Amino acid sequence: MMTKVNTMLLVALALLVSSYSQADTQKPNIVIIYADDLGVGDVSAYQMGKLQTPNIDEIANQGLKFNQGYATAATCTPSRYSLLTGQYPWRKNAKILPGDAPLLIDPAQETLPKMLKRAGYRTGIVGKWHLGLGHGQVDWNQTIALGPNQVGFDYSYIMAATNDRVPNVYLENGAVIGLEPDDPLYVSYQKNFANQPTGLDNPELMTKMKFSNGHFHSINNGIPRIGYQTGGKKAQWRDEDMSDLFLAKATEFIDAQVVPTVTLKNQNQPFFLFYSLHQPHVPRVPHQRFAGSSGLGPRGDAILEADWAIGRLIKHLAQQGLARNTLVIFSSDNGPVLDDGYQDQAVSKNGEHTPWGIYRGGKYSLFDAGAHVPLLASWPGTIEANSESEQLFSQLDLLASLSALTQQPVSNNDTLDSENHLSTLLGKSAKGRKALVVQALGGRTAYREQSWLFIPAYWGDEKLAKEDIETGACSCYQLYDLANDPGQQTNLADKYPEKTKAMKAAYMRIMATANLKASE
Q: Are the CB atoms for 474 and 457 separated by under 8 Å?
A: yes
- Structure confidence at residue 485 (pLDDT): 98
Mean pLDDT of 455-477: 97
Q: What is the mean pLDDT of residues 290-310?
A: 98
Confidence of residue 257 (pLDDT cuts 50, 70, 90): confident
Domain membership of residue 284 (yes or no) is yes
Write out pLDDT tens, residues 239-248. 999 999 999 9
The answer on 344 and 208 residing in a single domain is yes
Domain end call among 412, 433, 454: 433
pLDDT band at 263 (very low <50, low <70, confident <90, very high): very low
Mean pLDDT (the chain) is 93
Tell me which H or E stretch contains 511: helix 497-511
What gap in Å lies between CA 299 and CA 286, rounded to an integer?
9
In a domain, 294, yes or no: yes
Residue 6 falls inside a structural domain: no
Please tell me the predicted confidence (pLDDT) of residue 112.
98
Question: Residue 22: which pLDDT band, with cuts at 50, 70 and 90?
Answer: very low
Do 117 and 192 lie in one domain? The reply is: yes
- Tell me which H or E stretch contains 232: none
CATH of the domain at 199: 3.40.720.10
Pairing of strands 29-35, 271-276: parallel
Question: Does a structural domain hold residue 3?
Answer: no
| Domain edge (last residue) among 433, 463, 488 | 433
471 shares a domain with 429 = no
What pLDDT was estimated at residue 17?
Answer: 35
Alpha-carbon torsion angle 507, 510, 515, 518, nearest 10: -130
Other Cβ atoms less than 10 A from the Cβ of 466: the count is 12
**What's the count of helices (H) and strands (E) in the chain, helices before strands?**
10, 22
- Tell me: pLDDT of 2 over 60: no
| Residue 450: domain span | 437-516
pLDDT digits (tens, 9 = 90+) for 470-490: 999 999 999 999 999 999 999
Judgement on whether residues 300 and 399 belong to the same structural domain of the protein: yes
Is a pLDDT exceeding 80 seen at residue 334? yes
Residues 330 and 374: beta-carbon distance below 8 Å = yes
Residue 161 lies in a domain: yes
Coil, helix or strand at residue 349 = coil
Looking at 386, 410, 433, which one is the last position of a domain?
A: 433
| Mean pLDDT calculated for residue range 162-191 | 98
What is the pLDDT at residue 258?
Answer: 80
The residue-averaged pLDDT of 180-207 equals: 97
Lowest-pLDDT choice from 9-13, 28-32, 144-148, 310-314: 9-13
Q: Residue 267: its pLDDT value, please?
A: 56
In the chain, % of residues over pLDDT 90: 89
Q: How many beta carbons lie within 10 A of that of residue 484, not counting itself?
A: 9
Task: Name the percent of the chain lying above pLDDT 70.
Answer: 92
- Shared domain check, 449 and 352: no
Shared domain for 414 and 503, answered yes or no, is no
Instruction: Provide the residue type at 485 as one letter.
Output: D
3 state DSSP class of 485: coil
Chain centroid to Cα 23, Å, comes to: 28
In this predicted structure, the answer to whether residue 351 has a pLDDT above a threshold of 50 is: yes
Q: What is the pLDDT of residue 370?
A: 98
Residue of 245, 238, 380, 284 lying closest to 36 (CA atoms): 284
Question: Which among 34, 131, 145 is positioned nearest to 89, based on CA atoms?
Answer: 131
Do 442 and 296 fall into the same domain? no
pLDDT of residue 415: 83
What's the CA gap between 143 and 152, in Å, rounded? 17
Residue 476 lies in a domain: yes
pLDDT above 60 (res 301) = yes
Q: How many Cβ atoms are within 10 Å of 69's Cβ, its own excluded?
A: 26
In the chain, the largest separation of any two C-alpha atoms, in whole Å, equals 91
Is the residue at 10 inside a domain? no
Q: Are residues 413 and 475 in the same domain?
A: no
CB-CB neighbours of 194 under 10 Å:
6
Q: How many CA atoms lie within 13 Å of 428's alpha carbon, on the beta-carbon side?
A: 9
What is the CATH classification number for the domain harbouring 468? 3.30.1120.10
- DSSP summary character for residue 192: P
Confidence of residue 15 (pLDDT cuts 50, 70, 90): very low
Give the residue among 52, 48, 60, 79 at the shortest CA–CA distance from 487.
48
Would the pLDDT of 75 be above 70?
yes
Q: Using CA atoms, how far apart are residues 14 and 22, in angstroms rounded to an integer?
A: 16
What is the pLDDT, as a whole number, of residue 474? 97
Per-residue pLDDT of 197-215, as tens digits, reads 999 999 999 999 999 999 9
Distance CA 374, CA 33 (A): 11
18 pLDDT higher than 50: no
Q: Convert the pLDDT of each residue in 217-235 to its tens digit.
A: 999 999 999 999 999 999 9
* Same domain for 465 and 410: no
- Alpha carbon 239 to its chain's center: 19
SS3 306: helix
Structural domain count of the chain: 2
Task: DSSP for 456-471, please give it.
Answer: ----S-SEETTTTEE-
